[in-house]
Amino acid sequence: MHSTAILSAFLLVLTTLGNASPSCRLRKYSARQQTFAHPGVLHTHEDLLRMRTNVASKLDPWYSTYQLFAEDSHSLLTYQMEGPLTWFERDHSGAVYGLNQIIQDGRAAINLALQYIITQNEAYAVASRNILDAWSETLKFVNGSDIQLGASLCGVNLVNATEILRWEWNGWAVGNITRFEGMIADIFYPAAGIQGINEYPWSGGWGTTGEKAIVAYGAFLSNSTMYQEGLCLYSNPSCGAACGNLGFMIENTGQYVESGRDQGHTQLSLGNMAEISQVALSQGDPSIYELLGERLRVGYEYTSEYQATNNTLPYNTTWVCCGCEDEGWTYVSSLDRTQIRPVREIVYGYYSGVKGVEMPYTKDVLSEGPETINPVNADNDNAEWGTLRFRRTSSL
Ligand SMILES: *[C@@H]1O[C@H](CO)[C@@H](O)[C@H](O)[C@H]1NC(C)=O
Ligand SMILES: *[C@@H]1O[C@H](CO)[C@@H](O)[C@H](O)[C@H]1NC(C)=O
Ligand SMILES: *[C@@H]1O[C@H](CO)[C@@H](O)[C@H](O)[C@H]1NC(C)=O
Ligand SMILES: *[C@@H]1O[C@H](CO)[C@@H](O)[C@H](O)[C@H]1NC(C)=O
Ligand SMILES: *[C@@H]1O[C@H](CO)[C@@H](O)[C@H](O)[C@H]1NC(C)=O
Ligand SMILES: *[C@@H]1O[C@H](CO)[C@@H](O)[C@H](O)[C@H]1NC(C)=O
């Protein structure tokens, strides 16, 4: 097993304030020389050790959550791959060729990689690697009007699995890892910036989805330019994500730009922002979690209060996503109010577990039971099994 490894990327990219192109993707981001820590996407080596040690010690909530996790068909050596395919799509028309196959295989790839970490049984590493190798050998393109969502939400899951295996196991051929990197850089990364039918660059949940993918791909590839691009889009409206940066997404009351739409989309995007922040934390940088006076924490508390109580919350009718002005949202939407997505342990692990800052409503939701899989549909839009993966302390 590799010990935590450090790679350096000595990229010095000059900032150009060029205004020639209307596309934010052509903007150059200022990338300082940067050292990347690995594994360093959603989990550091220490995070992985915490999971293994706590499960081995039969400590809860990790152990009991692991029992549920280990029964999921995606965590079993008998998992039957659904791909690979040469392409997949996500389209406004509802065309989804290949989408479910890559979603299920991505879910299995990460679960099997985590199984290897926890059990140290190499058969799991091999099973995960085989899925990742199969897709990187076969996939040629992604398409459809909603390609930004399709490619970003699926690509990050594969990357998570690869990031763990390549740094924690020595059974993967270098040439095949390089081929996987090429797939991310050449197929998934460009797609993360294609907004398709969404006329507003980086708007709402599309924006945070593309941003989280770019941040994860940059860290995975040790590419400072890419990593800084993603963080810039999220944290600074002048980087091209005027409709999709934190300060626009979450009002200082905690209202999210789609709070008037439904709580499912709201939680998806909160989860995206948490994942962006967590990758930065894995890279030793807590400043993304800290942005705008812990605005992300405030956003989680607003939505969690709405979901955990019957309280009526303040609602600003003009704090809505770009293009949503005519939707007529006048109060927090009760659609999906009881649908709890697995997006809270990750932020609770930082604000409460690391910093000791209280999140009473988020805690109320978490106290209802362990985070497992996405309850609504077949998608794993955010990092599932949060209680096993992100919890830092036994009691909330
Ligand atoms: C690389 O991946 C291919 C599948 O695409 C697999 O057949 C081959 O065995 C892998 N190579 C090594 C050395 O593991
Ligand atoms: C994606 O590409 C395939 C292969 O060319 C094509 O059959 C399919 O219609 C395309 N889907 C969309 C939504 O454009
Ligand atoms: C890093 O990613 C950018 C795309 O943002 C690409 O142009 C550049 O070639 C990559 N750098 C390396 C060293 O691969
Ligand atoms: C909210 O109201 C419903 C219906 O009156 C009730 O069943 C539920 O217990 C209430 N929840 C809380 C947290 O007070
Ligand atoms: C409501 O949101 C708008 C931005 O759309 C902002 O300018 C305004 O200050 C907000 N109102 C309150 C009361 O916070
Ligand atoms: C993998 O990591 C990315 C980037 O942080 C995150 O968005 C995604 O939800 C994660 N997926 C899984 C299955 O852990």
| Ligand 2 mutation target, pool 87, 145, 187, most atoms within 8 A of CB | 87
Residue 8's Cβ-side half-sphere holds a number of Cα atoms within 13 Å equal to 4
Instruction: Kindly state the average pLDDT of the residues 75-95.
Output: 97
Question: How confident is the model at residue 31, as a pLDDT?
Answer: 56
Whether pTM exceeds 0.85 = yes
Cβ < 6 Å from ligand 1: which residues? 133-134, 137, 173, 176
pLDDT digits (tens, 9 = 90+) for 86-110: 999 999 999 999 999 999 999 999 9
Using CA atoms, how far apart are residues 220 and 26, in angstroms rounded to an integer?
Answer: 21
Give burial (CB, 10 Å; 0-12/13-18/19+) of 302: buried
At residue 10 the predicted structure's pLDDT band, cuts being 50, 70 and 90, is very low
So what's the pLDDT on residue 192? Answer: 95
Answer yes or no: is pLDDT of 344 > 90.
yes
Measured CA to CA, the distance from residue 10 to residue 222 in angstroms comes to: 10
Among 2.60.120.1030, 3.30.420.40, 3.40.30.10, 1.50.10.100, name the CATH number for the domain at 5-390: 1.50.10.100
Region 288-306: mean pLDDT is: 98
Distance (Å) from CA 310 to ligand 4 centroid? 6
Q: How many CB atoms lie within 10 A of CB 203?
A: 23
CA of 96, nearest ligand number: 2
The ligand 1 atom nearest the CA atom of 172 = 14
- What is the Cα–Cα distance from 178 to 166, expressed in whole angstroms? 11
User: Per-residue pLDDT for 27 more than 60?
Assistant: no
Closest listed residue to residue 123, CA positions, set 78, 77, 69, 166:
77
**What's residue 4's pLDDT?**
36
Regarding the beta carbon of 216 and ligand 6, being less than 6 Å apart is answered yes
Query: Any idea which ligand is nearest the CA of 320?
Result: 5
pLDDT band at 196 (very low <50, low <70, confident <90, very high): confident
- Eight-class DSSP state of 318: T
Of the chain, the percentage scoring pLDDT greater than 70 comes to 91
Each residue's pLDDT tens digit, 150-187 = 999 999 999 999 999 999 999 999 999 999 999 999 99
Structural domain boundaries in the chain: 5-390
In a mutational test of the pocket of ligand 5, which residue from 249, 319, 327, 330 has the highest number of ligand atoms less than 8 Å from its CB? 319
pLDDT of residue 201: 86
Residues listed for the chain: 396
Per the CB < 8 A criterion, the answer to whether 107 and 379 are in contact is no
d(CA 109, CA 371): 19
Percent of the chain exceeding pLDDT 90 equals 87
Distance 256 CA to ligand 5 centre (A): 12
Q: Residue 11: which pLDDT band, with cuts at 50, 70 and 90?
A: very low
* pLDDT score at 199: 85
What is Dmax (Cα atoms) for the chain? 59
Integer Cα distance of 271 and 332 in angstroms: 19
CA dist 116 and 45 (Å) reads 13
Rounded Cα distance between 227 and 221, Å, is 9
- Position 127 confidence tier, pLDDT thresholds 50, 70, 90: very high
Give the residue with greater pLDDT, 200 vs 215: 215
Residue 175 CA to ligand 1 center (angstroms) comes to 9
What does the pLDDT average to over 314-327?
96
Distance 2 CA to ligand 3 centre (A): 26
- How many angstroms is it from 225 CA to the middle of ligand 3? 6
Average pLDDT, the chain: 91
Please provide residue 47's backbone torsions phi and psi, each rounded to the nearest 5 degrees: -60, -40
Say what the pLDDT of residue 6 is: 33
Residues with CB under 6 A from ligand 2: 87, 89, 91, 95, 143-144
Q: Give residue 283's identity as a one-letter amino acid code.
A: Q
Amino acid letter at 128? S
Residue nearest (by alpha carbon) to ligand 3 atom 2: 226
Tokens representing 357?
Answer: 């800052």
Residue 235 has pLDDT above 60, yes or no: yes
